[in-house]
Chain A
Amino acid sequence: MPVLLVVGFIAFALSDFVGDPVLLYLGQDQTQEQREALIRQLGRDRPIFVRYADYVWGVLHGDFGISYAAREPVGQLLMQYLPATLELAGIASALAVAVGVPMGVYTAIHRNTLLSRVFMIGSLIGVSLPTFMLGMLLILVFSVWLGWLPSFGRETVLSPVLPAVTLAMFQMTMIMRLVRAEMLEILRAEYIRFARARGLSDRAIHFSHALKNTLVPVMTIIALQFGGIVAFSLVTETVFEWPGLGRLLVKSVASADGPVMSAYLLLTALLFVTINLVVDLLYFAIDPRLRLPRGGA
């Protein structure tokens, strides 16, 4: 919650100080009197606390102000760009989990095979390779040279493929490394030894007993890393000209569009807080130790 408070204030500051609303309404040719009249009309001569309260009140009612660049209500603008971002982030996260988790399990169980080494080195390169370069590399190979996949826009069914792979890459390597580290830790646990002594199959031990125990820490880090996904979506959307919120923000920064920047910041913080809440709830679903007070019969 302190996150939301602090972010809320920064967002207000951005919205209030960044950019010139007078320019928006009057254009370049303005007289001093017109200017002052407008400032009064917009209520910008009031004390900062009043404006802050006004801003918070507006945000709570879905009013984020008016974009200086697009001259549209920011709320409408966000709604227009949000679906593309959600689509991209959804596909990328699913991809990252679906590929990263099995790779992590594999590299933990078969530590010294060739394939494990390839995965580990690949993940190191994945972390060092900037997102925009990965995106450009994919465009070069799959769009320019092979001509298989579209490299920009959001028109065809295949459009999300390259951006999603790009966005998923970092998350995927991170999930893989995390799952691997946690698995290695848990495979040393006493209950894994006991499960082996009970004659359970390797598959049951690895994928059911061990993997389930890695979920809580892995989910925590994934939730904490949400910010990273936001950052990478900015870049990915720019590389692939994907019409999402990230592109909107980059354009707003270039044109010093305060209200859009602040709305984006608020939305991100809200998403962050929501995700953390969901993760907390998932803990309860996964780990019975959190549901019951300790002790018992």
Chain B
Amino acid sequence: MPVLSVRDLVVEFPNRRGVARAVDGVSFEIDPGEVLGLVGESGAGKSLTGAAIVGLLPPPGRIAGGAILLDGERIDALPPHRMRAIRGRRIGMIFQDPLTALNPLFTVGQQLIETMRAHLPLSHRQARERAIAWLAEVGIAAPSMRVDAYPNAFSGGMRQRVAIALALCAEPRLVIADEPTTALDVSIQAQIVALLRRLARERGTAILLITHDMGVIAETADRVAVMYAGRIVEIGSTRAVIDSPSHPYADGLMASIPSLDRPVDRLRQIDGAMPRLDAIPAGCAFHPRCPSAFDRCRVERPELRDVGPTRSACWLGQGHG
């Protein structure tokens, strides 16, 4: 059974002029120990998908349709106190900016201890020992001393390690990592990714890795889902999506990854910009930017279907009408 199963998720933001659909019918599954990468430009709806799963949509956002199942149990309509028991305990979360994610006025030990004690039956002393062990686990030197340090005594990379410990310390089944490397120096990004990947593999924890960075996906993810304007346009194994993308948007995205073994003179770019939520075109949302768009794309919206090694939402290869 998959750890997480998202079915036809719809996230809406009501405003004065009506309702903006930020996530529109997204479905995917993640198995134990698996890393699913969710990629797309900013505003594609990938972070909101993650926020919807942990029940932390910014108001007035709401889940307007679909289902979210964690270990087969529906969690998308739970009352707040039951959702709180799931957050941290069964779903861990890592945010983009490690500088602002830790409360500056509490030691890292205090923050680890309170998280563990909120979910696990531990005494203060036991929790403290575990906190030290976790700091060691995420690669913090001299953890028994650093446990009493405040976040400002840590560098950005070190803080993200602490954030990873905080997300994993109650041993969740699933970790949602929302742009975990974006705010870090390039030299540190690889370390953080490797750390996350190792810890998840050792514990059988599933990871939803949300990022706009295809390089990180290529290194880390087992499978990848490409989002555009609130929908998944292509999903499949990382190798297949990178090597032979079938959706023109995914193709454009992959062509923007610099590669060491395929020397290229210049990287391709996709012209135009993603539409605003209140102005999503009819038919395929990508058609105004698509080099291969034809009449059907402007009228009818394509659904995901099997196309060889991946599933893609595109009329290309479906027969021209």
Contact = CB atoms under 8 A, between A and B. Distances in A.
A245 B106 CA distance: 42
B89 interface: yes
A201 B155 contact: no
A289 B149 CA distance: 11
A193 B56 contact: yes
Contacts of B118: 198-201, 204
Nearest to B146: A297
A220 to B, nearest CB: 15
B152 A198 contact: no
Interface string B44-71: 0000000000101000000000000000
B191 interface: no
A191 B152 CA distance: 13
B88 interface: yes
Interface stretch (B27-35, B94-102, B243-251, B253-261): B94-102
B119 A199 contact: yes
Interface residues of B, number: 36
Contacts of B86: 199
Interface residues of A, number: 26
A292 B153 contact: yes
A286 interface: yes
Contact of A196 (B56, B105, B150): B56
Contact of B105 (A190, A198, A213, A296): A213
A209, A286, A288: most-surrounded residue (chain B CB, <10 A): A288
Interface in A245-289: 286-289
Contacts of A201: 84, 118
Is chain A's binding surface mostly helix, strand, loop or mixed? helix
Given A190-B97, A296-B155, A287 B89 contact: no
Contact of B103 (A191, A197, A202, A292): A191
A189 B86 CA distance: 22
Given A204-B114, A297-B158, A199 B104 contact: no
Nearest to B172: A199
B92 to A, nearest CB: 8
A288 B152 contact: yes
Contact of B154 (A199, A213, A297): A297
B206 interface: no
Interface string B110-135: 00001100110000000000000000
Contacts of B105: 212-213, 286-288
Among all A-B residue pairs, the 8 with the closest Cβ atoms = A199-B88, A197-B93, A288-B150, A199-B87, A190-B100, A296-B153, A198-B88, A194-B101
Interface of B: 54, 56, 84-89, 92-93, 95, 97, 100-106, 114-115, 118-119, 141, 146, 149-150, 152-155, 158, 163, 166-167, 170
22 contacts: A189-B100, A190-B95, A191-B102, A191-B104, A193-B95, A194-B102, A196-B56, A197-B54, A197-B95, A197-B167, A198-B88, A198-B167, A199-B89, A199-B170, A201-B84, A209-B106, A213-B104, A213-B105, A288-B152, A292-B150, A296-B153, A297-B146
